[in-house]
Structure 1
Amino acid sequence: MLRDITKERSALVFIEFQQEWLADDGILQQRLIKDREPFRAAVENGARIIASARANGWTVVHAGLDLSADPGYLLFNGGHDVLGLRQAIPRAGTWQDKGAGRAAPFAPLDGEFVVAGRSGASVLKNSTLDPFLRNRRIDTLFLMGFATHVCVESSLREAHDMGYNAYLVEDACAAFERAQHEHVRKHVVHHFGAETDTAELTAFMEG
């Protein structure tokens, strides 16, 4: 149940609603998404939420990843002598140009904050998101996006450790497989935040 939350001290954080995931020819869309029904539902619910947020004056944050200005992936040492996503991203050639792009309704509008400088799985890692939130006196985050068990979970954990109250909007997130998503819901969320869904959140914003 949402309570003791104000519009002025909250932000809706849209994590990687970008073409790598959303376009039919997106590299991550093609290679990683196995359970497509919950993924499509998450995109549709994200669209409902961003429309409601815009209509009701809530803070919208676009927390993606764009490495177009670093074609050699120097940030990640070109994928050499590193592990995990720092190796996988350069090998896959993701988050460059078209893949990093955004399409309506997730293209940023004037007055919406676009996160820059991110260097990790968490959208808070070395990025401009934390100073933006603190300068706005925002302490409550609603997290949505992809993938639930990777960047969304990493962001949830880091938000907790940095002192934010974070909600996973569970039906506006998706993982590669449904079981991965449900694992985060069952075993992770309650340690680091709480959960809500599209119906509850939009009703609260519009109430």
Structure 2
Amino acid sequence: MTSDARYPPDETALLIVDPYNDFLSEGGKLWPRAKEVAEGIGLLDHMRTMLATARGCGFRVLIVPHHRTRPSDYRTWDHLSPTQRHVVSSQTFAEGSWGAEWHPDFEPREDELVVSQHWASSGFANTDLDFMLKQHHIRRILLIGMRANTCVDTTARYGQELGYHVTLLRDAIGSFSWAEMEATFEVNAPMYAHAILTTEEFADMVSDTVNEEPGGADR
């Protein structure tokens, strides 16, 4: 699915979902499960390219992080999801650990935003993400990061429900299996996303837009 939309810098934000070492770095607790797909699609290189493109275009950049786990979390909860039960047992993204630090290539700059942490899959539910986007006049969101069929898919769906134009960068979003990637990009996302693009397609699109503007090639 391609897009004929323009991405005005003052209305567009890149959301980097869960760029933790546990997901994206060798030695991370979840890296062994993510590695095959990540290496197969060139995930880290495409995430780097998208971040550089967003910064070069003047888009707002936000980190959308999962809750950093503490040993006492969830003990009094009534309805833990299977994923939350796994988090409890494995202590992924454990507060204060290396695994809960940002992958070094996706450290936010001083003027970039880190929104409040989500407890389950949606970056919008029970966080300040919608508030932050509205405060910065954002209408279009681009999503990259982890994990395709959980936090990315749920955040993107929720964003569409809230009225945002949603673009998924399919080779800058990872998962734990090819089946999860297919379910996300071939079955689910075409029903709600306004655009599903590769990193190259998006970079070419915004480059063409800049060059079409008066004096664009010289800017």
The yes-or-no answer on 1:155 pairing with 2:158 is no
- Partner residue in 2 for 1:9: 11
- Distance in 2 between the 1:123 and 1:196 partners? 21
- Distance in 2 between the 1:119 and 1:126 partners? 8
- Distance in 2 between the 1:63 and 1:146 partners? 10
The answer (yes or no) to whether the contact 2:143–2:156 under 8 Å persists in 1 is yes
The answer (yes or no) to whether the contact 1:141–1:164 under 8 Å persists in 2 is yes
- Partner residue in 1 for 2:213: none
- Partner residue in 1 for 2:191: 191
Matches within 5 A, 1:59-98: 59-67=60-68, 71-74=70-73, 76-77=74-75, 82-96=80-94, 97-98=97-98
The answer (yes or no) to whether the contact 1:11–1:60 under 8 Å persists in 2 is yes
**Alpha carbons of structure 1 residues 198 and 79: separation in structure 2 relative to 1, 3 Å:** same
One-letter amino acid of the counterpart of residue 196, structure 2:
E
State the shift of 1:166 in Å: 0.9
State the shift of 1:104 in Å: 2.7
One-letter amino acid of the counterpart of residue 172, structure 2:
A
- Distance in 1 between the 2:115 and 2:86 partners? 22
State the shift of 1:103 in Å: 3.2
SS of equivalent residue, structure 2 residue 131: helix
**Alpha carbons of structure 1 residues 180 and 31: separation in structure 2 relative to 1, 3 Å:** closer
State the shift of 1:99 in Å: 1.2
SS of equivalent residue, structure 1 residue 20: helix
One-letter amino acid of the counterpart of residue 54, structure 2:
A
- Distance in 2 between the 1:149 and 1:167 partners? 15
**Alpha carbons of structure 1 residues 32 and 106: separation in structure 2 relative to 1, 3 Å:** closer
Q: State the TM-score, normalizing by the size of structure 2.
A: 0.84
The answer (yes or no) to whether the contact 2:25–2:103 under 8 Å persists in 1 is no
- Distance in 1 between the 2:53 and 2:132 partners? 22
State the shift of 1:80 in Å: 7.2
The answer (yes or no) to whether the contact 2:23–2:34 under 8 Å persists in 1 is no
The answer (yes or no) to whether the contact 2:38–2:44 under 8 Å persists in 1 is no
SS of equivalent residue, structure 1 residue 27: coil
The answer (yes or no) to whether the contact 2:144–2:168 under 8 Å persists in 1 is yes
Q: CA RMSD in A?
A: 2.0
Matches within 5 A, 1:156-171: 156-171=156-171
**Alpha carbons of structure 1 residues 188 and 203: separation in structure 2 relative to 1, 3 Å:** same
Residues 17-72 of structure 1 show CA distances to partners (whole Å, capped at 9, x for unaligned) of: 21011221111112454445235x1111000111122233211111122425xx22
SS of equivalent residue, structure 1 residue 30: helix
What is the total number of aligned residue pairs between the two structures? 203
One-letter amino acid of the counterpart of residue 50, structure 2:
I
Matches within 5 A, 1:169-184: 169-184=169-184
Q: State the TM-score, normalizing by the size of structure 1.
A: 0.89
- Partner residue in 2 for 1:119: 119
**Alpha carbons of structure 1 residues 88 and 79: separation in structure 2 relative to 1, 3 Å:** farther
One-letter amino acid of the counterpart of residue 85, structure 2:
Q
User: Which 5+ residue runs of structure 1 have no aligned equivalent?
Assistant: none
- Distance in 1 between the 2:87 and 2:78 partners? 11
State the shift of 1:79 in Å: 7.2
User: Which 5+ residue runs of structure 2 have no aligned equivalent?
Assistant: 211-219
State the shift of 1:132 in Å: 0.3
